[in-house]
Chain A
Amino acid sequence: QQQVKQSPQSLIVQKGGISIINCAYENTAFDYFPWYQQFPGKGPALLIAIRPDVSEKKEGRFTISFNKSAKQFSLHIMDSQPGDSATYFCAASLINSGSARQLTFGSGTQLTVLP
């Protein structure tokens, strides 16, 4: 049972275009929603994150939009560049019954930005 559903599985965008990746969750106990970027041969690295008390967070070309009532959030990459080509994972986090913060990941989106 996948608690965080991510789409699309792969995405091809022209340089300068907008990349949009969507995620949806079920568990309302999630209280932190990070996005990770992973390049081939590397581990995931935190890109940007949001808490559910705000509807949008922007850092440079990267923006998270968050819709609490719909239990959906998305990553927008403006002016996409070939260097953005990577796998992107959304995640949702909560504090579990053992008082530990636990991350649940989406299935990942492989983004290719064409030059």
Chain B
Amino acid sequence: EAQVTQNPRYLITVTGKKLTVTCSQNMNHEYMSWYRQDPGLGLRQIYYSMNVEVTDKGDVPEGYKVSRKEKRNFPLILESPSPNQTSLYFCASRGGMNTEAFFGQGTRLTVV
């Protein structure tokens, strides 16, 4: 089954404690991206990757890092999480420039 898998689904952490949210896709897609979803703001892109070792900032990259060492994986790293990063995060992948984006099921992160 074609899917984008995120882990964990839920995470509560404390301010400043580094964390990683993993994202994996089994569709051999080149494009992957991370979004955060906040009430009244829709989804905003954090980072995206056009291929292995090629990443770029989206609209709200501050406080986040990503890496793309393998085509299937695109982890989101919060080096020093802060409460304003409490949000619902989605990973997405796309096969080509003009193809549909597939989203994971989301990771709800709470930073206290």
Interface residues of A (CB under 8 A from B): 2, 4, 6, 9, 32, 34, 41-46, 89, 95, 98-108
Given the contacts A100-B31, A100-B50, A103-B101, A44 and B90 also touching, CB distance less than 8 Å: yes
Nearest A residue to B44 via CB reads A105
Per DSSP, are chain B's interface residues mostly helix, strand or loop, or mixed? strand
Binding site for A on B (CB under 8 A): 4, 31, 35, 40-45, 48, 50, 56, 58-59, 90, 92, 94, 97-98, 100-101, 103-106
- For residue A100, give the distance in angstroms from its CB to the closest CB of chain B: 5
Say how far A22's CB is from chain B's closest CB, in angstroms.
14
Please report the C-alpha to C-alpha distance between residue A11 and residue B97 in the assembled complex, in whole angstroms. 33
Q: Are A107 and B40 in contact (CB under 8 A)?
A: yes
A32 contacts which chain B residues (CB < 8 A)? 98
In chain B, what residue has the closest Cβ to A9? B40
Q: Which B residues lie within 8 Å of A6 (CB)? A: 42
Residue of B with least CB distance to A43: B103
Query: Once bound together, how far apart are the Cα atoms of A105 and B42, in whole Å?
Result: 6
B106 close to A101 (CB less than 8 A): no
A101 and B31 contact, Cβ closer than 8 Å, known pairs A43-B105, A45-B103: yes
B residues near A89, Cβ cutoff 8 Å: 42-43
CB <8 Å contact, A43 and B106: yes
B112 to chain A minimum Cβ distance, whole angstroms, is 22
Contact of A43 among B45, B48, B50, B104 (CB under 8 A): B104
**CA–CA, A49 and B84, complex, Å:** 33
B26 → chain A, closest Cβ, in Å?
15
A59 shortest CB reach to chain B, Å: 14
18 A-B pairs with C-beta separation under 8 A = A9-B40, A43-B90, A43-B106, A44-B103, A89-B43, A98-B50, A99-B50, A100-B31, A100-B48, A101-B97, A102-B58, A103-B101, A104-B45, A104-B59, A105-B42, A106-B42, A107-B40, A108-B42
